[in-house]
Structure 1
């Protein structure tokens, strides 16, 4: 069985909730092994952490190389 990321599991749980009539959020969270609170906040529209906190690189490649040489 392939290993899924937490994000993929949350998306699958949301999809299951939308397509399965009598599936509760609590049951979907257990079924897809994701925290219930994470699932509820995502259903309410909160963006994933990766989208809320994009990776910020402070130095470009040239600056990083110059710093490494200096050290």
Structure 2
């Protein structure tokens, strides 16, 4: 007797691959890991951009403070 897989546990993907339940779970897990890496990468880029903008703003405030103090001393 051949053990045929339960047809309710077989999934065909858009690309035509046929996956059993374990293969389907593995594909989902791989997709979730990829998405997590993408989000982590984006989060790092956003933090770096925010730090750069913050530094520029602080530099502008320091420059304005120096100019204001110099103007008041005249």
Fold shared per TM-score above 0.5: no
TM-score by length of 2: 0.29
Q: Which structure is richer in relative contact order (CA contacts within 8 A, separation 6 or more)? A: 1
Query: Which one has the bigger strand percentage?
Result: 2
Query: Which one has the bigger helix percentage?
Result: 2
